[in-house]
Every structure is written in C-alpha cells, then in structure tokens.
Amino acid sequence: MTSEIFEFLGSLHPLLVHLPIGFILLTFLVDIFIKKKNNAVKGVITLGWFFSFLSGAIATLFGWFLGSNNYYFESQIDIHKWSGIAFVGIAFIIWLLRFLNFHFSRFFSRFINLTVLILVLVTSHYGGEMTHGKGYLLKNLPYVKKELNQKILLADKDNPLDSLYVYEDMIYPVLEEKCIACHNQNNTYGGLNMTAYESLIKGGNNGAGIMKGNPYQSAIFKRVNLSQNHPKFMPPSGTPMNYDEVAILHWWIDNGAKRKIPLVKFRNDNSIRKLVEEKYQLDLKEKSYLETLKLSVVPDEKLKLLNEEKFQWRFLTNENSLLDLKFTAKKISVNDLKSLDQIGEHIAWLNLSDCQLTDDMLSHFSKFTNLTRLRIQKNRLTDKGIKFLNDLENLNELNLYGTRITDASLEVFSQMKGLKKIFLWNTRVSANGIKSFKSLNPAIEIITGL
C-alpha cells in the first residue's frame, strides 16, 4: 500500500518540476525588468525565491520516490539529481538572505541569477533525456542525421546465411542494447537476468520470461507490447523496442523460441520474411548451386581448343564462367572427351545424347565437378557405366532415357546427394523398382513417360 502511494507521488514528479521553473523565471523577469525596486517589488522577488524553493523541494522529494522505483539507471539520474538539489539549496539560501534583508549588489544579484539559470537548464535537460530518450533535444532539427533504423546483417562467404540465427543475431543484440543494463548478473531488477538464454527463458520473480510457443504468456513479450504509458511497460526508460523488433520477438517465441533457429526459417513465413528482407537487407531467396558458385571466366584460348565441328557451346550466365556444352557429331571418342579436361570445372550443363557414348567413357566424368545437368540418353549405357557418376555431387538433373540400365542403378541414384530429377523412360528399370525407390527418396522426381 505505502509503496503504491510512493509510486503515485513519484509519477507526479514530471508534472511538478514545471512549477519551480515557472516561479524562478518569473522572479528573474521581475528582477531584470522592474528597474525601480521599491519595497513591494523586493517583497515580490523574495516571495518568488520562496516559492521556487518550496515547489523545487517538493518536486525533488517526489523525484526521489520516482528514482527509487529503480526505473532509471543510477548514472542517468546522477547529474539531474544533484543539479536539482543544488537549485533547491541555493533558492533556499537566497530566500533566507532576502528575508533577512541582506543587501544584494547588482553584480552579486546577476551572478546568482545566471548560476541558477544554468542549474535549471542542466537539470531540465537531463530530466528530459530520461523521459524522452537521449538526444531528444536536437533530433528534430533538419540538419541532424536521422537514424535510419535499418540494421545490416550481411550474409557472405565468411558468414553464410545458414550460420545466422534468430536469437543470437537478431534478438540478443536488441536485448543487449535495450534491456540488459537493468537485467544482468549485478542488476537483476525483477529477479530477471537476460544475459544468458537459459535465464531469459526462466524469467524473474513473477515466472516464465518466455513460454515457448506462446508470446502472450511470456513476460518479456507482454512487457514490451504494453502501451508505453503503462507503468509496467519495458524498458521504463531509454529507447523502447520498435515494431520490427517486437514482431521478430513474437515470431521467435511463437516458433518455439529455440536457441538455434536459423534465419533461413523466415523463408517459409511470408509476413516476417518481407520484414526481415527489408529491414536487415537480407536476401532470403534460396540459391541454386550454380548461383553460389564463384568461378573465374573461361579463358578464351582454352575455348578455342574445342573442335567447333563437334561441339556447340554457350555461356549460362553473364559472368561467362559456366558453360552449356553439346556434342553435335555422330560418334564421340575418348579423345573428344579429353579435349574437355581443360574446361572441366566450367561445364555446368552437358549434352552427349545419341553419340555412341560407352560405359567406359563415363569414367571420365569425375573431372566435371560442377556438372548440374547431364543428358546422355539414347546411348548403349548399362549399370556398369552409371557407377562412375556416383561422384557427381552437384548433379541435379540426369537424362538416361533409351539406355539399358536396370534396377541396379537405382542404388547409385539414391546415393547421389544433389539429384532432383531423373528421366528413365524406355529403360530396363522395373515399375516395382521405381515404386520402392520413390518411397525411399521422395525428393527425387522420376520421369518415365506415359
């Protein structure tokens, strides 16, 4: 009960502080502008100092109550508190001296007025910073650079997207900036320490900080989601969390609040995905293998070595680093394949269909490490040759229609990590074989014609 009364009186402080400011300014004006100071004027000035002192003392007392709610940082309060107290002390002394008819020289009077004016400015400025946030005074001036409020979380080679996590990379930095000064090992207001994941989840004196899967049962979310005037709103001073930060916090708790949810999970959720892409400049689109590949340009002199009567080629991308290559003659030889060795890593798509390719020739393909699409249909290939394709980790499309492979090759396919699509029409693979393969490898599409 009493603590509530103190809390109420504390909340009157921001209102009451305007009284001493008004009284003292009025007193200054009388002192400066009324040149002829008869006893009545002097009486008014003395009374002015008295009311400045009295209202200042009450405001300071209520300010003390507010400060002891622990809603503000000690370091934040310090200057405000001591300059306020100095103001009250000086006002009291000046009133007393005037009351006792002490003679003020003009110089002394001006000196006192100036000192007190400075104290009022300092006190109210630091008080303003506590209620309106740091930098409030100048932030609306046209030449002051506005903070864009756009964070940049760049995914690059050293920091690929899948190694960024929602909690570590998006939520914790916000808590650190806006909450942890009051909720750490030393200052554990409300019994809540947010420095470690475990203690954040556990919460403070009033139970769970975070209820996984339920934002509206989670004290952390509830407190930042209150209206800013609510006495329980967090943070009680300093910059509040903004809409995006609250939305991400909500998403994280709703999705289980696990420590290691990778950012790429945002992909599946359109509402949050747009927000994250926009605000954090992240590109969440899934990249194909070729898009992530960084190869140099294919050297011209190496391309010239290709026999133009037998090979047709084009670049797949503007970087001129990846090739789509097609064999156009009737019969391919081992030497033709060897002529590709120099540019082996640049071949992304390869079409060697219907050119009398043999099983043995397939042993040569391990040099084509970046092959993603391979067309070798209509050749007399058997399971023996398919074994050589096992190493092509990035291959995702394979066309084998019209070859002589059987169910034995299915085993090889299921070991090829990148495979997404196989054309098996008109081969010796059985319908049953395909059925059981599909149930074991649902991600791989098999095309068997009609």
Q: Which is nearer to ligand HEC, 53 or 72 (CB)?
A: 72
Q: Verify binding: residue 65, ligand HEC, rule CB under 6 A.
A: no
Strand pairing partners for 262? Answer: 165
Q: Considering CB under 6 A, how many residues would be counted as binding ligand HEC?
A: 29
Cβ neighbours for 417, distance < 8 A, ≥ 6 positions apart: 393
Q: How many CB atoms lie within 10 A of CB 97?
A: 15
Find the binding residues for ligand HEC in span 239-258 (CB under 6 A).
241
Cβ neighbours for 278, distance < 8 A, ≥ 6 positions apart: none
| Strands (DSSP E) found in 217-341 | 311-315, 323-327
We find the least distance from the C-beta atom of residue 59 to ligand HEC, in angstroms, to be: 21
Check: CB of residue 250 under 8 Å from CB of residue 215. Answer: yes
The piece of 14-22, 179-187, 256-264, 307-315 that touches ligand HEC (CB under 6 A) is: 179-187
Binding residue for ligand HEC (CB under 6 A) from 89, 190, 262, 344?
Answer: 190
Q: Which is nearer to ligand HEC, 57 or 182 (CB)?
A: 182
Check: CB of residue 315 under 8 Å from CB of residue 290. Answer: no
C-alpha of 229 from chain center: 27
Q: Verify binding: residue 223, ligand HEC, rule CB under 6 A.
A: yes
Q: Verify binding: residue 10, ligand HEC, rule CB under 6 A.
A: no
Binding residue for ligand HEC (CB under 6 A) from 164, 170, 201, 219?
Answer: 219
We find the least distance from the C-beta atom of residue 130 to ligand HEC, in angstroms, to be: 9
Pairing of strands 373-375, 347-351: parallel
Q: Verify binding: residue 235, ligand HEC, rule CB under 6 A.
A: yes
- 3 state DSSP class of 387: helix
Compute φ and ψ for 316, nearest 5 degrees: -90, -25
User: How far is CA 115 from each of CA 25, 54, 88, 108, 253, rounded to the nearest angstrom?
Assistant: 13, 19, 13, 11, 53
Q: Which is nearer to ligand HEC, 112 or 253 (CB)?
A: 253
* Nearest Cα to Cα of residue 412 among 432, 425, 395: 395
The piece of 26-34, 229-237, 303-311, 371-379 that touches ligand HEC (CB under 6 A) is: 229-237
Q: Verify binding: residue 189, ligand HEC, rule CB under 6 A.
A: yes
Q: Which is nearer to ligand HEC, 192 or 347 (CB)?
A: 192
The piece of 10-18, 129-137, 140-148, 217-225 that touches ligand HEC (CB under 6 A) is: 217-225
Q: Verify binding: residue 280, ligand HEC, rule CB under 6 A.
A: no
Strand pairing partners for 375? Answer: 351, 399
Binding residue for ligand HEC (CB under 6 A) from 46, 83, 123, 237?
Answer: 237
Q: Verify binding: residue 172, ligand HEC, rule CB under 6 A.
A: no
Compute φ and ψ for 144, nearest 5 degrees: -80, 130
71-90 footprint of ligand HEC as x/- string (CB under 6 A): xxx-----------------
The piece of 79-87, 105-113, 231-239, 296-304 that touches ligand HEC (CB under 6 A) is: 231-239
* Nearest Cα to Cα of residue 7 among 64, 58, 81, 78: 64
The piece of 200-208, 297-305, 389-397, 441-449 that touches ligand HEC (CB under 6 A) is: 200-208
Tell me how far apart the alpha carbons of residues 269 and 110 are, in angstroms, rounded to a whole number: 67
Cβ neighbours for 361, distance < 8 A, ≥ 6 positions apart: 332, 334, 337, 385
Tell me how far apart the alpha carbons of residues 226 and 232 are, in angstroms, rounded to a whole number: 8
DSSP-derived secondary structure letter, 448: -
* Nearest Cα to Cα of residue 354 among 384, 382, 326: 326
The piece of 12-20, 136-144, 237-245, 426-434 that touches ligand HEC (CB under 6 A) is: 237-245
Tell me how far apart the alpha carbons of residues 139 and 328 are, in angstroms, rounded to a whole number: 69
Tell me how far apart the alpha carbons of residues 174 and 241 are, in angstroms, rounded to a whole number: 8
For the purposes of burial, counting CB atoms within 10 Å of the CB of 104, is it exposed (0-12), middle (13-18) or buried (19 or more)? middle
Compute the half-sphere exposure of residue 142: CA atoms within 13 Å on the CB side of its CA: 0
Q: Verify binding: residue 437, ligand HEC, rule CB under 6 A.
A: no
We find the least distance from the C-beta atom of residue 179 to ligand HEC, in angstroms, to be: 3
Q: Verify binding: residue 413, ligand HEC, rule CB under 6 A.
A: no
Q: Verify binding: residue 66, ligand HEC, rule CB under 6 A.
A: no
We find the least distance from the C-beta atom of residue 205 to ligand HEC, in angstroms, to be: 4
Q: Verify binding: residue 178, ligand HEC, rule CB under 6 A.
A: yes
We find the least distance from the C-beta atom of residue 66 to ligand HEC, in angstroms, to be: 12
The piece of 11-19, 52-60, 188-196, 350-358 that touches ligand HEC (CB under 6 A) is: 188-196
Residues that bind ligand HEC (CB under 6 A): 70-73, 178-179, 181-183, 189-192, 203-206, 209, 219-220, 223-224, 232, 234-238, 241
